[in-house]
Each structure stands twice: as C-alpha cells, then as structure tokens.
Amino acid sequence: MSTVLLTGANGFLGQHLLRELVAAGADVRALSRRDRADADIRALGGTPVRGDVTDVAALRAAMAGVETVFHTAADTNTWRPANAAQTRTNVGGAQNLLAAAREAGVQGFLHTSSVSAYSHLVHDTLREDVPQRGGDSWINYERTKFLAEQAVRESGLPFLIFQPSHILGPGDTRNWSRLIRLVDADKLPGVPPGSGAFADVREIAKAQVRAWQRGKYGEAYLLGGEHASFLELVTEIGRQLGRKTPARATPAFAIRLLAQGKYLASLITKKAPDITPEGAMFTCHDLRVDSGKAMRDLDYRATALPALLADTIAWLRAEKLIA
C-alpha cells in the first residue's frame, strides 16, 4: 500500500481527494491543524497527523516514509490586510513542503494550483501553453498561486500540477454554495457581469488520482468545466430552487465602486468585507478554459452545469443548509 501525505484534507476538494485516494488503496496521512478536524479525516479513512504547511518540523515528521505528496491546502483570501499571511501559506507553505519532500526522498509531488496562476490579465481561452501572468498581477492570490507553481517546477522533484477553475459540487459550504444560499433566501443583491468555467469537484479528485496512478510526471493540467456567465449560473440556480432572480447583470463599474467602498470601510472596521476590489475583478472577468489535455490524458469529464447544480443543491438540502 502506497503512503501519501495530503494537505487540505478538511477543505472542499481535499475531502473528495481523501475519499478517492482511500478507494484507490492508498494509506493516507492527512495534515490536520486541530483536534476537531481529526474525526472527519478518520471517517473518510485517513490518518490525521498534526501540523500545517508553515510548521517545518511537523512537515519533516509527517513526511517520514511518504512516497507521494498531494498538496491542496491554500489561502484563498482576497482582502489586502491579510496578504502577508496568504503569502506565508501559499508560497512559504509550498516551499516548506517541497523541502521536506526532497529530504524524505518523496517520489512524486502533486500540486493543486489554480487558473489564477494565469491571472485575469490573460484574456484568451486558457490552455497549458498560454504564458502565465500571475507574477505581474496586483492581486496577491494570483501572484501567490503563480509563485507556488514556480517553486514546484523548480524543485527538482517529479511533479504534477493541477489548475482547476470554479469548483462546484456536494460538500461545498463556503464557496459557490454561498451564492446558492443567497438565491434560496431571496437575498441576492445583484449578479456580476463576468463568466466562468464550472468544474465538478468529484471529477477533479478522480483526475488527480488517475494522474498519480499513471505516473506521467512533469505535466500541468487545466481542469475546467462548462462555460457560463454568472447571470446564466444564477438563472439556473433560481430555476432549480423555484426562486426569482435578476433578469440582467449589474454593470461592472457598479460592482467595482461598491467593492472599493467596502474595502475602504474595512480598513476602519478591521473586518474583511463580503466583496473586495480583487473579488470584483474576478467576478467581472470572462474566464474560459480548455480542458482538452486533461480529457485526453486523464479521462477528465466536464459535468453539465444543470446536473452539477442539482447535485450541489441536493447535498445542501440534505445538510439542511437550504430549505
């Protein structure tokens, strides 16, 4: 049985990846920062080990006997006052893991990055051969995802990099499920004018495990999904929930103006706002992703958006998070 170390096991993607790794016969050590997370890890078949990606000593201890690392942990914050902490986690954490993996003689490092490594500065359809511009971005999240990828590529370890887009699916309590809950409660203030590629978390996890099993290292894979505008997304959510939704998108300038005002207010309150200028940029951007390489190499599938939303909504209802 192969021993793997998984970071971010309590996250949305990490939980699905843990489940898939266990099903594939792996002995999974899951990095855990607190006791209350341990029970969830054990319930999915993993073994919790105490530590986080900023704790070098804990990583060295956790890495003993590990053959492969799956790194999914990340800080997705977009609030500028938290940028330093985000950089420590996303860039420093990746560097710490890579150093510990090299010392332990790990045979493979599978890194979950993001389409954000390319940055909103790229306006073409994303493909793996499109030059990344995250290093030029004013958005710290994009910059840190780019720098973490660079650290992986330059590490000397056999690596695989995965670049998912907008992730949906059962188990989501913090990401796009917030939008679903707003629609369900008739509290959606408006719809941004951007668009995205909506990926199924279950298919992302399966693709990563297939990549690990096939062992073709040195590759990066964009993991996108069905393209839709945010207005189309909200309209479909409303249709499935039986709720009325806006008929048109809010202009980009209004979204950006609102975000800037809330950001300035947050500097006084010292509390992160519900939208930032960085977040406004994401939601006003037109993101298109070509996942052809992953479909060919990893049998990756793009779930139809109505079916993906139906599964997500069914899970939220089962968990009593929506009516």
- Domains of the chain, CATH where assigned: 3-171+198-226+288-303 (3.40.50.720)
Instruction: Find out whether 17 and 6 touch, Cβ atoms under 8 Å.
Output: yes
Q: What is the pLDDT of residue 28?
A: 98
For the chain (length 323 residues), average pLDDT per consecutive 10? 94 98 98 91 97 96 97 97 98 98 98 98 97 97 98 98 98 93 94 97 99 96 98 98 97 97 97 96 97 98 98 97 91
Residue 57 identity (one-letter amino acid) = A
Instruction: Find out whether 49 and 90 touch, Cβ atoms under 8 Å.
Output: no
Distances (CA, A) of 46 to 39, 55, 88: 10, 21, 26
Q: What is the pLDDT of residue 189?
A: 87
Q: What is the pLDDT of residue 274?
A: 92
CA 85, 90, 95, 98 torsion-angle sign: positive
Distance (Å, rounded) from C-alpha 201 to C-alpha 50? 25
Q: What is the pLDDT of residue 34?
A: 87
CA 85, 86, 92, 94 torsion-angle sign: positive
Determine whether 240 is exposed, middle or buried from the number of CB atoms within 10 Å of its CB (0-12, 13-18, 19+): middle
217 in active site: no
Indicate which residue of 118, 141, 263, 300 is catalytic. Answer: 141
Q: What is the pLDDT of residue 35?
A: 87
Q: What is the pLDDT of residue 232?
A: 98
Instruction: Find out whether 280 and 251 touch, Cβ atoms under 8 Å.
Output: no
User: Would you put residue 105 in left (φ > 0), alpha (ψ -120 to 50) or beta?
Assistant: left
Instruction: Find out whether 290 and 128 touch, Cβ atoms under 8 Å.
Output: no
DSSP string, 167-191: EESTT-SSSTHHHHHHHHTT-----
